[in-house]
A and B are shown apart, each in its own frame.
Chain A
Amino acid sequence: MFSAEMFANLFATQSIIALLIGVIGGTFIGALPGLTATMAVALLVPVTFGMEPTAALIMLSSVYVASVYGGAIPAILLHTPGSPASAATAMDGYALTQQGKGLHAVGAATVASVTGGLVGGVILLFLTPPLARLGLRFNAPEFFLIAILGLSVIGSLASDNPLKGITAGAFGLGIAMVGIDMIYGVPRFTYQITRLEAGIQLVPALIGLFSISQVMLLAETFGKKEEKERVPVDLSGSFWPPLPELIRNIPNLIRSTMVGTIVGIIPGPGADIGAWLAYNEAKRFSKNRDQFGKGAIEGIYASESGNNAAVAGAFIPLLALGIPGGAVTAVLLGGLTIQGLTPGHTLFTAHAAVTYAMLFSFMIASVLMGIVGWLVAKRLVKLASVPNVYLIPVITVLSVVGTFAINRSMFDVGVMAVFGFIGYFMRKTGFATAPIVLAIVLGPMAEGGFQRSLLMARGENLFTFFLGRPFSLPLVLLIALSLATPIFMSQMAKRRAAKAAAAAVKEDEETKG
């Protein structure tokens, strides 16, 4: 773990610059409502293409962790979550801002995010290598099941409409079939277009699906009257929370970080669910339950430590087994592949110096984002109000350059444009775009595992062949758990909504009474 090469990689000039750019860029992107962490990571993948693997991974992971934190600042000060992971923070955060305690709330969110990232990072550091060692015992059937486990996340990614999400994922698998077949060497669905023989490249597809479709969604606000005038925010007082408050919230922070990390490890739910569950738990344990939603500082500590810990947790199955738990980790998997790194045991043996440097940088990034937040929080409020008319052309140009940079190909840019167009209409009609990316990433793994399993089975019934292997059954159970999670989450959300509605009715009756 602690080798001279690892430290040399971690403290190389390129790695430090990558870390700084990642943290600062991630915080700013996270603070801009409408720009997502997925989009930020997708746009950065091509930039990291020519970089040293350590610096590349440091930049991608630090952008992810910082963008989740950055989303909290406009959520608290403007009631506009910069990312879905900060939605829980917005409730109490904005209530505190209205009470003139906005800066205090941002400080609490900063401390919580740093704690969540730091503790989650330590768990990531110690839990991933043994899990990756387990992967050594896997063969083709297990890799097929792991790919299916990764694909089972689709239900969670498209929890609003699982049927459409699964349909998008199935078509994504179809897209992954384009190109030369890996085992038989036969071209499939290429129609004599030489450039398609290498398949549909991941980066053009994901930049199109996440960036260009987002640009088109943002464009919907053009010509509509927007509320640009914001109520002036009172940012007086101290940024850092008082010591007694911090001590009082230590159990809350520990609990929320654990909840967040566990949620992050489970493929599917992601940082936003991590934040909500941690918030719910904090409310359940709190003596001031009535204050939640009206400006409870415990709520902010819980949701922000929960979402940042979930980010760390999401890296565990990604690095150990190659299972991306969500859209951002699917993009990160693409970033790993581009650097020639394969998730699993080799990451912690042959590439240990690179991987451990990245894991340590995760914790450094968590601390650094706290410092960045402290320095720029007040200015980020202004940034969050930048009109879309200035943002859209910049994102568009960066999408073009980023796509072109991978293969120096305008054909890829055309593919990106097509995926952008399709992605926009998918999002408008309730089809999530993340399943397509997940399927493009995991499709070849699923097919390779399936084909090799058929060869290994030598005519035996595939069902008994799969279930007769020691690691297959636990993987099948995990797939079942992953499929059941969105149903459970949806039930929980319904119960929460019903409770909120009942509380609102009761409050209304009391007011009338």
Chain B
Amino acid sequence: MEQKRRRINNDVFIGVGLMLVSGFFLWESMGLHPGAGRFPRVIFTLCLALSTLVTLFGVRKTLNPALTTKEDHALTFAGTKMPLVVFAMFVVYLLLINWIGFYIATCIFIPAFMFTFGARRIIPIVAITIAVNLFVYGVFERLLNVFLP
């Protein structure tokens, strides 16, 4: 007989992850100076209790799928693919800033980003790239004396 597989609710994984994190920091706060560790112990005990509740609610939603909400289905690979690509480009941009400096990195990042995600009109791409660099130079370097890497 074919049995329908029950999908474990996301909150179970999130709750367990949060329980591990709060458990770790609670354990860490035990080793702190008694006075300095008092408040962290209270806070991470609270975190542990709340994470347990998140997990339990997740288990409840797994057992009774009628209780699931829109957010329980929001996290899918297809839905998060583009944001992850954008974040990866952002990380590469930060590495480029360290390597070749802010202005050159920005001159590469903005057009590359726009082109990757479908912008094909050269004039706005070039105009935005120049405008952003000039704005940053004018406001941060000239006005606020913030010298970028």
Contact = CB atoms under 8 A, between A and B. Distances in A.
B54 to A, nearest CB: 6
Interface stretch (A118-126, A214-222, A501-509): A214-222
A420 interface: yes
B25 A183 contact: no
Contacts of A285: none
A186 B33 contact: yes
Nearest to B146: A405
A470 interface: no
Contact of A216 (B36, B54, B86): B86
B97 A410 contact: yes
Given A174-B40, A181-B33, A47 B139 contact: yes
Interface string A156-173: 000001011011001101
Contact of B69 (A49, A430, A450): A430
Interface residues of B, number: 66
Which size class do A's interface residues fall under?
35 or more
Interface in A375-421: 387, 389-390, 392-394, 396-398, 400-401, 404-405, 408, 410, 413-414, 417, 420-421
Interface in B83-97: 83, 85-87, 90-91, 93-94, 97
Contacts of A393: 109-110, 113-114, 128, 132
A119 to B, nearest CB: 34
Contacts of B139: 47
Given A212-B90, A392-B113, A414-B94, 8 more contacts: A161-B69, A167-B54, A170-B47, A393-B128, A394-B132, A400-B97, A424-B83, A429-B11
Interface of A: 47, 49-51, 161, 163-164, 166-167, 170-171, 173-174, 177, 181, 183-184, 186, 188-189, 212, 215-217, 219-220, 222-223, 387, 389-390, 392-394, 396-398, 400-401, 404-405, 408, 410, 413-414, 417, 420-421, 424-425, 428-430, 447, 450-451
Across chains A and B, which 5 residue pairs bring their CB atoms closest together, nearest first?
A: A430-B71, A216-B83, A181-B36, A50-B144, A219-B86
Interface of B: 10-11, 14, 18, 21-22, 25, 28-29, 32-33, 35-40, 43-44, 46-47, 50-51, 53-54, 57, 69, 71-72, 74-75, 79-80, 82-83, 85-87, 90-91, 93-94, 97-98, 102, 106, 109-110, 113-114, 117-119, 124, 128, 132, 136, 139-140, 143-149
